[in-house]
């Protein structure tokens, strides 16, 4: 598939989302509603405005494609292609004023993501992968994306969003990997996947993901030469427990430590 309208539409959506979301970031009186009565799953008007803006672009440019969005659900299409949208991946960071949240845009078919964008509106960085593209652009210009490649887990940099990686069993499985890694860092949301694709880190491990959390990062990382799978080495595009790796060696060593976890996966 080489349709030039696909990346053009994705960039148009990312531009529209930037315009819609940025007025809310670090604004006075930013309010968050809670989508999880048993915990805290925040959503802001920035999230909603970003997704509305992206859906408006699709309605004009590609009305036959389906949509799966975090805030406004799924709309079936006629083309066999679906746009998977997360307007603010990292809403907790968005609320905290940290610039590591991002806009996630993927185009998928039944096999998984074909193309993806990770956009950080405040920093002005955009990471693109799929359909023959693997590149980023930002304040320092445009350059190709490429992962670090194979290295031992003992020399690897590992990221996850929170020290509590899902339930206690999932957290314990992650800890087995973290103990063997050179460096473990937390709290980057989708920006950690971007750093992996750009060649700065080796592993990102998370649990409890939805399809809209992982499909854009998967497309970008795969285009940059990396690996994205579930914790058993299988497909990851539907979410759940996910590992992204910059090379096969660290991927395999991490999977060996995650393999002890054998309870059924669950996506919130």
| Exposed / middle / buried, residue 93 (Cβ in 10 Å: 0-12, 13-18, 19+) | buried
pLDDT at 266 over 60: no
One domain, residues 99 and 173: no
Residue 162 token pair? 């929170």
Residue that finishes a domain, picked among 126, 144, 162: 144
Q: What does the pLDDT average to over 36-50? A: 82
Question: What is the reported pLDDT for 104?
Answer: 98
Question: What is the reported pLDDT for 265?
Answer: 44
Residue with tokens 């509305």: 52
| Short-list 168, 193, 166, 153, CA closest to 267 | 166
One domain, residues 41 and 135: yes
Q: Cα–Cα distance between 161 and 125 in angstroms, integer?
A: 20
Say if 201 falls within a structural domain: yes
One domain, residues 86 and 162: no
Question: What is the reported pLDDT for 30?
Answer: 87
One domain, residues 69 and 102: yes
Q: Cα–Cα distance between 16 and 255 in angstroms, integer?
A: 39
One domain, residues 246 and 127: no
CATH number of 215's domain: 3.40.190.80
Q: What does the pLDDT average to over 73-86? A: 96
One domain, residues 128 and 157: no
| Short-list 149, 113, 148, 151, CA closest to 131 | 113
Question: What is the reported pLDDT for 267?
Answer: 43
How crowded is the C-beta side of 85, counted as CA atoms within 13 Å?
A: 32
Say if 263 falls within a structural domain: no
Q: Which residues pair with 134 in a beta bridge?
A: 129
User: Residue 204's CB: how many other CB atoms inside 10 A?
Assistant: 28
Say if 219 falls within a structural domain: yes
Q: Cα–Cα distance between 60 and 196 in angstroms, integer?
A: 34
pLDDT at 52 over 80: yes
pLDDT at 264 over 50: no
pLDDT at 35 over 90: no
> In whole angstroms, how far apart are CA 57 and each of 25, 65, 108, 157?
22, 12, 17, 38
One domain, residues 121 and 164: no
Residue that finishes a domain, picked among 102, 120, 144: 144
Q: Is the pLDDT higher at 181 or at 265?
A: 181
Enclosing domain of residue 228: 153-258
Listed in sequence order, the DSSP H helices in the chain are 5-21, 45-61, 91-96, 168-180, 190-197, 211-223, 248-258
Q: What does the pLDDT average to over 219-227? A: 98
pLDDT at 209 over 80: yes
One domain, residues 9 and 139: yes
pLDDT at 268 over 60: no
Query: pLDDT-derived band of residue 2, with 50, 70 and 90 as boundaries?
Result: low
Strands 82-89 and 112-120: unpaired
Q: Which helix (H) or strand (E) holds 66?
A: strand 66-69
pLDDT at 262 over 90: no
Structural domains of the chain, count: 2
- pTM of the entire predicted model: 0.93
Residues 6+ apart with CB under 8 A from 134: 128, 144, 145, 146, 197, 220, 223, 224, 225
Residue that finishes a domain, picked among 79, 113, 144: 144
Count how many residues are written for the chain: 268
Q: Percent of the chain having pLDDT more than 70? A: 94
How crowded is the C-beta side of 104, counted as CA atoms within 13 Å?
A: 32
One domain, residues 25 and 137: yes
CATH number of 37's domain: 3.30.540.10
Question: How does the average pLDDT of the chain come out, rounded?
Answer: 93
């Amino acid at each position: 598939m080489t349709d030039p309208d696909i990346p053009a539409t994705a960039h148009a959506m990312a531009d529209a989302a930037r315009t819609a979301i940025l007025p809310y970031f670090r604004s006075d009186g930013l309010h968050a509603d809670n989508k999880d009565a048993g915990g805290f799953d925040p959503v802001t008007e920035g999230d909603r405005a970003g997704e509305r803006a992206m859906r408006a672009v699709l309605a004009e440019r590609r009305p036959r494609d389906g949509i799966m969005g975090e805030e406004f659900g799924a709309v079936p299409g006629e083309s066999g292609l679906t746009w998977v949208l997360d307007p603010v991946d990292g809403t907790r960071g968005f609320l905290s004023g940290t610039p590591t949240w991002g806009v996630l845009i993927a185009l998928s078919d039944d096999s998984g993501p074909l193309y993806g964008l990770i956009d950080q509106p405040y920093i002005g960085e955009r990471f693109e992968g799929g359909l023959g593209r693997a590149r980023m652009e930002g304040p320092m210009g445009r350059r190709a994306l490429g992962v670090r490649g194979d290295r031992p887990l003992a020399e690897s940099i590992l990221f996850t969003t929170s020290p509590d990686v899902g339930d206690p069993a999932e957290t314990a499985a992650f800890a087995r990997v973290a103990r063997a890694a050179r460096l473990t860092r937390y709290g980057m949301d989708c920006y950690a996947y971007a750093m992996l694709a750009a060649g700065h880190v080796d592993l990102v491990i998370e649990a409890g993901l939805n399809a809209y959390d992982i499909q854009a990062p998967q497309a970008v990382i795969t285009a940059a030469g990396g690996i994205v799978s579930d914790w058993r080495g299988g497909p990851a595009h539907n979410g759940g427990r996910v590992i992204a790796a910059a090379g096969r060696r660290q991927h395999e060593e991490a999977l060996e430590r995650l393999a002890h976890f054998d309870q059924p996966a669950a996506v919130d």
